[in-house]
Structure 1
Amino acid sequence: MDDQNRNLILATALSFLVILVWFTLGPMLFPDWFPEQTEPPAITAEAPEGTGLAVPPAERTAAGAPELAAAAPQSLDAALASTPRIPIHTARLSGSISLQGGRIDFLKLTDYFETVAKDSPMVTLLKPSGVPEAYYALYGWRPGAGLAPDAVPGPATEWQVESGSELTEATPVTLVWDNGAGLVFRRTISVDENYMFDVTQSVENTSGAEVRVAPYGIIARHGKPSNLRGFYILHEGVIMVADGSLTELKYDKIADLEKSEAENAAASVVEVAENGWIGFTDHYWMTTLVPPAGQPFTAVTKYTESSDTFQTDVRLPTMAVAPGETGEATTWLFSGAKEWETIRDYQEERHIDRFVDAIDWGWFFFLTKPIFRALHFLHGLIGNMGLAIICLTFLIKALLFPLAYKSYVSMSKMKALQPQMEKIKETAGDDKMKMQQEVMALYKREKVNPAAGCLPILIQIPIFFSLYKVIFVTLELRHAPFFGWIRDLSAPDPTSIFNLFGLLPWDAPGPASILAILSIGVWPILMGISMWLQMKLNPAPADKTQATIFAWMPWVFMFMMGRFASGLVIYWVTNNLITFTQQYTIMRSQGVKPDVMGNILGPLKRSKKAE
Structure 2
Amino acid sequence: MDDQNKNLILATVLSFAVIMAWTVLFPQEEPLVDPAQETTISVEDPALPATDPVSTGSTAPGDAPAAEPEAEVARIAIETPQLVGSLSLRGGRIDDLALTQYRETNEPDADIVRLLKPVGEPDAYFATFGWTATDGLTADQVPGPDTIWSLENGDTLTPETPVTLIWDNGAGQVFRQTVAVDDSFMFTFTQSVDNSGDAAISTRPFGLLRRHGEPADLKNFFILHEGLVRMTDAELEETSYDDITDYPIDPRERTQAERLDATTSGWIGYTDHYWMTTLIPDQSSPFRSTSKYYDSRDLYQAEAVMPITTVASGDTATVTTRLFAGAKEWEAIRHYQNEEGVTGFLDSIDWGWFFFLTKPIFALLHFLNKAIGNMGWSILALTVILKIIVLPLAYKSYVSMARMKELQPEMEALKERAGDDRQAMQQGMMKLYKDNKVNPAAGCLPILLQIPIFFSLYKVIFVTIELRHAPWIGWIRDLSAPDPSSILNLFGLLPFAAPEQGTLLALIAIGILPLMLGVSMWLQQKLNPAPTDPTQQMIFAWMPWIFMFMLGNFASGLVLYWIANNLITFIQQYAIMRSHGAKPDVFGNIKRSVTRKKPVDLDKPKGK
The normalised TM-score by structure 1 is 0.92
- Larger mean Cα displacement after TM superposition, 239-248 or 444-453: 444-453
Gaps of 5+ in 1: 33-39, 74-78
Q: Is the 8 A contact 1:379 1:385 kept in 2?
A: yes
Q: Which residue of 2 aligns with 1:4?
A: 3
Correspondence for 2:603: none
Instruction: Report the AA paired with residue 21 of structure 1.
Output: M
Match of 2:469 among 479, 483, 486: 479
- Equivalent residue, structure 1, for 2:49: 54
Residue type matched to 1:331 in 2? T
CA distance in 1, matches of 2:73, 2:302: 24
Which deviates more from structure 2 when the two are superposed, residues 144-153 or residues 462-471? 144-153
Give how far 1:279 is off. 0.3
Indicate whether 1:341 and 2:331 are aligned: yes
Q: Stretches of 4+ moved more than 6 A in 1?
A: 29-32, 56-60, 263-267
Shift of 1:261: 2.7
Aligned to 2:110: 120
1:178 is aligned to: 168
Correspondence 1:19 to 2:18? yes
| Residue 325 of structure 1, CA deviation | 1.3
Residue matched to 2:230 = 240
Q: 1:136 aligns with which of 123, 126, 150?
A: 126
Is 1:59–1:145's contact at 8 Å kept on the other side of the alignment? no
**RMSD, aligned CA:** 2.5
Between 1:584-593 and 1:568-577, the stretch displaced more is: 584-593
State whether residues 66 and 154 of structure 1, in contact with CA within 8 Å, keep that contact through their aligned partners in structure 2. Answer: no
Which one of 61, 65, 76 corresponds to residue 61 of structure 2? Answer: 65
Tell me whether 1:209 sits opposite 2:199 in the alignment: yes
Match of 1:290 in 2: 280
Q: Does 1:362 align with 2:342?
A: no
The whole-number CA distance in structure 2 between the counterparts of 1:272 and 1:133 is 33
Query: Where do 1:385-534 residues align within 5 Å?
Result: 385-503=375-493, 507-534=497-524
**Structure 1 residues 444 and 168 mapped into 2: Cα distance closer, same or farther (>3 Å)?**
same
SS in 1 for 2:371: helix
Aligned pair partner of 2:184 in 184, 188, 194: 194
- 2:213 aligned residue: 223
CA displacement at 1:128 relative to structure 2 = 0.6
Deviations 1:189-231 (A, max 9, x none): 0000101000011111122121111111000100011211111
The residue matched to 2:156 in structure 1 has which SS? Answer: coil
Q: Residues 256-405 of structure 1: matches in 2 within 5 Å?
A: 256-259=246-249, 261=251, 271-405=261-395
Asked if the contact 2:225/2:238 (under 8 Å) is kept, the reply is yes
CA spacing shift, 1:371–1:202, aligned 2, 3 Å: same
* Count of residue pairs brought into register by the alignment: 590
In 2 relative to 1, CA 29–583 (structure 1 residues): closer, same or farther, beyond 3 Å? farther
Partner of 1:535 in structure 2?
A: 525
Q: Give the counterpart letter for 1:14 in structure 2.
A: V
Give how far 1:500 is off.
2.5
- Is the Cα–Cα contact under 8 Å of residues 62 and 142 in structure 1 kept in the other structure? no
Q: Deviations over 1:23-48 (max 9, x none)?
A: 2215248999xxxxxxx99757x742
Contact 2:279 2:323 in 1 (8 A): yes
Aligned partner letter, 1:8: N
Change (3 A) 1:586 1:87: same
Check 1:67–1:488 CA distance in 2 against 1; reply closer, same or farther (3 A cut).
Answer: same
Aligned CA distance change for structure 1 residues 606 and 255 (closer, same or farther; 3 Å): closer
Give 1:160's match in structure 2, choosing from 131, 144, 150.
150
Offset from partner CA, 1:474-528 (integer Å, 9 cap, x none): 1111111101111111111110123321445765323331202112110111001
Which range moves more in the overlay, 203-212 or 597-606? 597-606
Q: Which runs of 5+ in 2 are unaligned?
A: 32-38, 599-608
- String of CA shifts for 1:68-89, please: whole Å, max 9, x gaps: 436567xxxxx8x933100001
| Change over 3 Å in CA distance of 1:61–1:68 after alignment to 2 | closer
Q: Matched residue of 1:555: which SS? A: helix
Structure 1 pair 43–293 and aligned structure 2 pair: CA distance change class (3 A) = closer
Matches of 1:281 and 1:133, distance apart in 2: 15
Q: Deviations over 1:247-278 (max 9, x none)?
A: 00000001123425358699866554321100
Opposite residue 310 of structure 1, the aligned amino acid is: Y
Q: Deviations over 1:540-578 (max 9, x none)?
A: 222211211111111111011001010000000000000
Which amino acid is 1:134 matched to? A
> 1:111-167 CA deviation, whole Å, 9 max, x = no partner?
111111011110100011111111100111111134221111122211111111000
Q: Secondary structure at the match of 2:157?
A: coil
Match of 1:7, as an amino acid? K
Counterpart AA for 2:370: G
Measured after TM superposition, the shift of residue 375 of structure 1 is 0.4
Residue range with higher mean Cα deviation, 507-516 or 477-486: 507-516
- CA contact under 8 A between 1:110 and 1:123: conserved in structure 2? yes
Letter in 1 for 2:127: A
1:447 is paired with a residue whose SS is coil
Counterpart in the other structure of 2:541? 551
Q: Does structure 1 retain, via aligned residues, the 8 Å contact 2:174–2:194?
A: yes
Q: What does residue 553 of structure 2 align with? A: 563
Match of 1:97 among 82, 87, 91: 87
Q: Distance in 2 between matches of 1:202 and 1:18?
A: 58
Matched position secondary structure for 1:563: coil
Whether contact under 8 Å (1:259, 1:265) holds in the other structure is no
Q: 1:56 to 1:312 in 2, by over 3 A?
A: closer
In percent, how many aligned pairs have the same letter? 54
Contact kept, 8 Å, 2:471 with 2:479, in 1: the verdict is yes
Distance across 1 between alignment mates of 2:82 and 2:461: 24
The alpha-carbon distance between structure 1 residues 572 and 29, as it changes in their structure 2 partners (threshold 3 A), is farther
Q: Distance in 1 between matches of 2:53 and 2:508?
A: 67
* Range 60-69 or range 494-503, more displaced: 60-69
Partner secondary structure for residue 568 of structure 1? helix
Whether the 8 Å CA contact 1:41–1:270 is kept in 2: the answer is: no
* 1: CA distance, partners of 2:251 / 2:28: 35
Using the size of structure 2 for normalisation, the TM-score is 0.92
Native 8 Å contact 1:240 1:246 kept in 2: yes
